[in-house]
Structure 1
Amino acid sequence: MAGAQASGAVPADDASDAERRRWFYTPTDHGGLTFHAQRPAQQRAAMRLVASGLSTPAYVTVATVIGLENVLDQAEGFVARFDRDRGRDPGLYHFRVFGEPGGRGTWGWRFGGHHVSLNNLVVDGAVVATTPCFLGADPAASPLLGGAVNRPLGRVEDLARDLVRSLPPDLAGRAVLLDRAPSDLVTANRTSVAPGDRIVPLAGIWRDARFPDDDEQARLQAVSDAIDEASGYGETEHSAVAYSAEPKGVAAAELDTEQRGLLRALLGTYLDRVPEGVSPSRRYDDDTVLDAVHVAWAGPTEPGAPHYYRVQGPRLLVEWDNTQRGANHAHSVWRDPAADFGMDVLARHRAAAHR
C-alpha cells in the first residue's frame, strides 16, 4: 500500500499523467506518502530529494512553512478539523515519485501539503521543469522572542509593495487595477491557466468534492462563502483581475533603474527558489527580456491591508495574495503558463518517438 501511495505513472503529455498534474495548496490530500506513513530514514531520504530541488533559502522557507502548522494549530485552539483528528498537522505533507528515478528517461516528483506544492520533472538526468511552485504562510507574520517577527515570505511581499509605491501617479494608476484585492490567487490550483480564469472559491480547492461529514462540509462552505463576501467582488471586479494572455499593469520598459532593480529582486524571490543551475533568473539580466515583464496590483498599498499582485511576461506568471485572517495569510506561486509540469518537453519527446 505504501509503495502505491509513493509512486505514480511515468510522466507523459496525455491522460495517463493526470494525477501528476493535480496540485493543491489547501490542507487536503495532495496525493502521496505522508510523513506519518514513513519511517525516519524514509523521511530523511524524502527531504534530501526535496532539498535537492530547492535553493538553501527556499529549503529553509519550506521547513518553516511546515512548522507553521503547529503555530496555526495553537491559534485555532488545537481542534480537530477537516474530518481528521488533527486539522493542522505537520505530518500531513505528501511525497510521490512518478516513473523510475535515475539514469536516462523521464521521471518526476511532487511534494505538497498545506501551503507547499513542489513539482519537478527530470529528463535524462536534467531537471527541466519546476513549476507550479507554490509557497504560502499562515500566519504570514508571527511573534518571536525579543520582539522579532517571523515572516517567511516577508521579502516576497515587501519588494512588490515597495515597487508599486515607488511608481509616479500615472504609472501607479495603471499598475493598481482595483482598490480592493481578490480573495485568493486568480488562477488558483488549475492544472493549466487560460484567458478568462477567475478565482476558485476555497471550497473548490480540495481533492474530493466534499467531506463525508456533512457538518464539516458545511463549516468549510461557510468559511469559503465568508472569504468571498469579504472581498466585495462582483462581475466588474472579477473581470478586472481575471487572467489574460496579454499582461495587465505596467511594463518594466516604463520603469526607472531603481524600480527595475526592485523588480529583479522580486523575481528572485520566486525564480531563486530552485538551485542556481536550474533557475531562469539570469534570463532577466537581459534588459530586453525584463522589458516585457508587467506588474499589476489590487488593493491598498499600505502595509497591513489585504492586497494582491501579479507579475507576468513571456513564459512567466507570478501571483501573490495576502487577504485572509486580516491580511495575515499569504499565498505565492510561480508558474510557466506555456509549460507547467514540463508539458512542452514531454510533447517534444512524444513527437520525436513517433517520427
Structure 2
Amino acid sequence: MTGVRGGAGTPAGRMSTAARAWLASLDDEQLGRAAWAWEPDGERLRWFYTPTDHGGLPLRDMRPAQQSLAMQLVATGLSSAGYVTVSTIMGLENVLDQVEGWQVGWGRERGRDPQLYWLRVFGDPAGRGPWSWRFGGHHVSLNLLVVDGEVRATTPCFLGADPAESPLLGPHPLRPLAGAEDLARDLVRSLDAAQTGRALLAGTAPVDIVGGNRPRIGDGEQVMRLPDVWRDHFTDPGLAERVEAMHRGSEEKAGLRPEDHEAVRLTTRPRGVPAADLTPAQKEQLRALLGVYLGRIPDELADREAAKFAGDRLDRVHFAWAGGTARHEPHYYRLQGPRLLVEYDNTQRDVNHVHTVWRDPEGDFGFDALRQHLREAHR
C-alpha cells in the first residue's frame, strides 16, 4: 500500500515522533516487551482479534502517562473517526463483561479487560531501516509499516464489536460499526434478480470471517476453527473444551453444511457481482461502503487508497453476500478485487457480534514494499 513521503507533518513522521516518545518513557523491563528488533517475518506477522495475548506491552502494565503516549501512537495510524471507533470498541469490554454476567475468565484475572490491549514496535522508529508497529486486543488489530520515510502498509486492519448494538439513553443505540452493516445491506437489497444471483454465495452465513487471522491469504481457504484463532491452544481442559464447544455450537445453530463452507471459501478469482454490472447508483453505494474501510486510516493515506478505485477502476471490485438480508438475520459479505479483500460477519451472539477486516493479499504487512526495498538496496 502506498504511503506519503515526508517529514514530521506526514503520517510516517507523526508515527515516528509518537513511537519514540512512548519508547523513551518506558523502563528496561517494559522495553523488553515493547521494543523488538526489526524482523520481516516471524512474530511481526502474528495478529489476533480474540481475547488472547497479542504480544507486546499491554496498557495495563503502563503508568497513566505512558498509556497516554501509547494512545497517541495509536491515533497516528487512524483517522479521527477511526480513533473514536477503536476507543469505543475497547470500552465495550466493560459492557461485554456485564452481558456475560462478569463470569468469563479466559484464564486471566479479568476476562474482559479494556486495558488488555498490547502495543509493540519492531525496529527503530528513529533509524533509516524499515520499522513497524502493532496494536491489538479483543476486536482490534492494527498493523502499520514504515519504509524509507513512508507508511507502506496499513493492513491487516481488523475492527469488531461485541455487542454490535447496545442501548443508550434516548432513542439511538450505540452501534460502532453501523456503517459497515447498513451500507452493505442497502446495497444487497437494491440488487435485481440477476445481480442477486451472482452476489449471493449461500443462504447461510459462515460463523466468522473466512480468512481468520492467517498472516497470508491463500486460494481455497475456509473458515478457521475458533481454537486456532488464539495465540496458543488452551492447556486448561475446561477452557479448551469451552472454545471448541463455542465453535461447534455456532456452526450447529447456524445449520452450516459442507456445501455452505465450500460456497464461501476464499478464491484468488473474486466471487460475487462485479461493480461493472452495477447501476451508477449502486456503484456509488459500493464506493461509500468501501470508504467505511479505507476511511479508518489517516486522511492522507485514505485518499491514496481511494484513488486506486477511482472512476472505472472500481469496476473490478466484486460484492458477495451470504445469509439473510433483513436486520437481525445472520449475514456475511466481502468486497474483493485487485489488492483488496474486505470481510464482514455478523452471526454470533444472536446476530449482535460483528467482525470486519480490511486486507491487501499482496501487501499485508508490507510484503510488496519490503520486496521492493530489498531489490533497490542491493542494486
What TM-score comes out, normalization by structure 2 length? Answer: 0.90
* 2:329 equivalent among 305, 324, 348: 305
* 1:58 equivalent among 69, 82, 99: 82
Structure 2 contact 78–296 (Cα < 8 Å) conserved? yes
1:155 aligned residue? 179
- The C-alpha deviation readout for 1:232-253, integer Å capped at 9, x for no partner, is 2222111111000110000001
Is 1:67–2:91 an aligned residue pair? Answer: yes
Write the distance in 1 (CA, Å) between the matches of 2:255 and 2:364.
31
Write the distance in 2 (CA, Å) between the matches of 1:160 and 1:245.
22
One-letter code of the match for 2:287? R
Is 1:255–2:278 an aligned residue pair? Answer: yes
Structure 1 unaligned blocks of 5 or more: none
Matches within 5 A, 1:151-190: 151-190=175-214
Is 1:334–2:358 an aligned residue pair? Answer: yes
1:318 aligned residue? 342
1:103 shift after superposition: 4.8
* 1:10 equivalent among 34, 38, 42: 38
Matches within 5 A, 1:31-50: 31-50=55-74
2:165 aligned residue? 141
One-letter code of the match for 1:229? E
Is 1:269–2:287 an aligned residue pair? Answer: no
Write the distance in 1 (CA, Å) between the matches of 2:352 and 2:96.
11
1:203 shift after superposition: 1.4
One-letter code of the match for 1:268? G
2:44 aligned counterpart, secondary structure: coil
1:285 shift after superposition: 5.4
Structure 1 contact 181–307 (Cα < 8 Å) conserved? yes
1:80 shift after superposition: 4.3
* 1:107 equivalent among 131, 138, 141: 131
* 2:107 equivalent among 78, 83, 86: 83
1:292 aligned residue? 316
Write the distance in 2 (CA, Å) between the matches of 1:166 and 1:11.
46
Write the distance in 2 (CA, Å) between the matches of 1:38 and 1:253.
50
Write the distance in 2 (CA, Å) between the matches of 1:200 and 1:325.
18
1:30 shift after superposition: 0.5
What TM-score comes out, normalization by structure 1 length? Answer: 0.96
1:312 aligned counterpart, secondary structure: strand
1:147 aligned counterpart, secondary structure: coil
1:126 shift after superposition: 1.5
Tell me which stretches of 4 or more aligned residues in structure 1 moved more than 6 Å.
none
Structure 2 contact 97–104 (Cα < 8 Å) conserved? no
* 1:218 equivalent among 241, 249, 271: 241
One-letter code of the match for 1:123? V
Structure 1 contact 81–216 (Cα < 8 Å) conserved? no
Q: How many residues align?
A: 350
One-letter code of the match for 2:249? A
The answer to which of 95-104 and 21-30 deviates more is 95-104
1:4 shift after superposition: 1.7
1:284 shift after superposition: 5.0
Structure 2 contact 324–330 (Cα < 8 Å) conserved? yes
1:160 shift after superposition: 0.6
1:79 shift after superposition: 1.8
Is 1:27–2:27 an aligned residue pair? Answer: no
1:34 shift after superposition: 0.4
Structure 1 contact 29–207 (Cα < 8 Å) conserved? yes
1:350 shift after superposition: 1.9
Write the distance in 1 (CA, Å) between the matches of 2:334 and 2:170.
34
User: Percentage identity across aligned positions?
Assistant: 55
Write the distance in 2 (CA, Å) between the matches of 1:281 and 1:101.
24
Structure 1 contact 320–331 (Cα < 8 Å) conserved? yes
Write the distance in 2 (CA, Å) between the matches of 1:3 and 1:286.
43
From the superposition, tell whether residues 284 and 347 of structure 1 become closer, same or farther in structure 2 (CA, over 3 Å).
Answer: closer
From the superposition, tell whether residues 300 and 80 of structure 1 become closer, same or farther in structure 2 (CA, over 3 Å).
Answer: closer
Write the distance in 2 (CA, Å) between the matches of 1:201 and 1:216.
15
Write the distance in 1 (CA, Å) between the matches of 2:117 and 2:277.
42
Write the distance in 2 (CA, Å) between the matches of 1:92 and 1:348.
35
